[in-house]
Structure 1
């Protein structure tokens, strides 16, 4: 890889991926997309906005990549319920425009698409770890838009796109927005510990089990896909998961212990999803077998890193 383009470079995963790419491809030019926001630390920046599909082709032409990691998306599930059409426009139609531009104007470039385990949705009700051949049965607009894009990348890989679809399960770490559960817990715990929030912590559903990863392990999966690109089948799909789900309420308990606080915990209806599944669990044996990937970061370290990050962010 000589030129690697990353969409969504300014987002939570993007900053972590930049560091992983620097380590794995020290000679490569790392190119970020931006639609006006700052993206420090990258070698080049090109303008791209998924809500403006016409921006995709010029961005690809300017970047001239031989590898692409497509992270950019409207990813907050709660927000997707509020404006489903905007979510579909970015996550499906923006992705289609970008992938088509890569297929037509960057022939041979490897397109690593960051899909999501959310695409499995109601298939998790079987209570078994899901492999990549599980039916896609999304339960919210975000997941539906990602499932549609996932399927589209698979189809386009039959027409010349060198697509690889990665389906990471829940992941967290430093820099994540508090629209996501672990970061939301960590932010409130840090504020309470600093005396800047009353000792009441507001939560959504605690009786949920989720297969959580550290963001660094997810980035390692994307890097492994880039490194293995020449021997992957076009349209290949890989889960990134631990296979060991954690109860959300237990995650909260552990974060409060690390923060040294014991607030009152109150349910907040605004944090509940209209549709949800009780338990998610992934089978990542394909990633282990083909990519040599396995999660490495201990969960306690992930929690401590996330909490310390919020302590720094709130000052």
Structure 2
């Protein structure tokens, strides 16, 4: 039986990855912050004995966790992933998202010094690294130009992973994941804010949504598809870097069209307000990824398209309200 350690196991991607690995017959361990992460959705997935108290900012706790679970694979999904939060808390975001990745890499390096490739490492990189995109479609060779403290921290973690791979012979891969959503997405993210808002408006529980810039375009996929790409990267003989994306961009207006349309509201403009408080100081106007390398090398392709994703999220929130 293979063993995996997941940081950020209680987040959207961590939950989907846990389900995926358990179905593959893995023993799954998770790193849970001593600050107290909610583990409710993990009930029935991972036994309490497989959760370890630790923190990406604490190298000693990472070393201790590696000794306890002796993983074959480590998936670093842990981060402070809210872009808006990163503008107000740049230092904390840099510490957890950037330096946290370095701490994990160093812990694995020290733990496997005599056999550097024994533990395979996945680092969750992000399309936010492209920021002010320098190409119409972004791939693994596109220049990185982050436009938020979160994006900058992810660039640091990304290049540090490559550096450890090249310097120490570690089997460390990065997945440059474009926006990926699901019913498990946190309510602080715009997609879930919309799906929840539409469900509540439909049920008569609220009368409007307040959003920021609704003209930005993103490459949106389904998180359940994207965790398979993470796993496939660690099954390769050689580590590498891969863009994971659908190859199509849509605006928030498009998301609103589909979400409101799903409940029979064709004109959503009376229900949506814009507020500068929800706009970024430095905006990322449009990103769209080229995942042809992932398709060619990993055999990976997304299975859920944009309209299916929006319908899935709205249906979930309708069932809640």
TM-score, normalization: structure 2?
Answer: 0.91
Cα distance in 2, alignment partners of residues 213 and 308 from structure 1 = 17
Count matched residues: 305
The alpha carbon displacement at 1:160 in A equals 2.9
Residue matched to 2:316: 309
Contact between 1:99 and 1:161, CA under 8 Å: does it hold in 2?
no
SS at match of 1:33: strand
Question: Any conservation in 1 of the 2:134–2:143 contact (CA below 8 Å)?
Answer: no
Question: Which SS does the other structure have where 1:30 is aligned?
Answer: strand
Give a deviation string over 1:243-292, Cα, whole Å, max 9, x none. Answer: 11112211111101113344422102121111112211111111111111
Deviation at 1:51, TM superposition (A): 3.4
Aligned to 1:240: 244
Say if 1:103 and 1:160, in contact at 8 Å, map to a contact too. Answer: no
Q: Between 128-137 and 257-266, report the one with greater CA deviation.
A: 257-266
CA-CA distance at 1:202 after TM superposition: 1.3
Asked if 2 retains the 8 angstrom alpha-carbon contact of 1:6 and 1:31, the reply is yes
**Deviation of the 1:309 alpha carbon:** 2.2
Is residue 294 of structure 2 the alignment partner of residue 290 of structure 1? no
Which residue of 254, 264, 268 corresponds with 1:250? 254
Structure-2 residue corresponding to 1:29: 27
Distance 1:255 1:300 in 2: 9
* RMSD of Structure 2 on Structure 1 (CA): 1.5
Runs of 4+ in structure 1 off by over 4 angstroms are: none
Unaligned runs of 5+ in 1: none
Please tell me whether the aligned partners of residues 127 and 176 of structure 2 are also in contact (alpha carbons under 8 angstroms). Answer: yes
CA contact (8 A) 1:175 1:309 kept: no
What corresponds to 1:120 in structure 2? 130
Unaligned runs of 5+ in 2: none
User: Residues 169-208 of structure 1: matches in 2 within 5 Å?
Assistant: 169-198=178-207, 200-208=208-216
- Candidates 141, 144, 150, aligned match of 2:149: 141
The question of whether the paired residues in 2 share the 8 Å contact of 1:111 and 1:162 is answered with: yes
Residue number among 103, 109, 114 corresponding to 2:109 in the alignment = 103
CA contact under 8 A between 1:125 and 1:278: conserved in structure 2? no
Q: Shift of the alpha carbon at 1:136?
A: 1.3
In 2, Cα distance between equivalents of 1:20 and 1:254 = 28
Partners of 2:54 and 2:244 in 1: CA distance:
27
Contact 1:115 1:166 in 2 (8 A): yes
**Residue 225 of structure 2 is aligned to residue 227 of structure 1:** no
TM-score, normalization by structure 1: 0.92
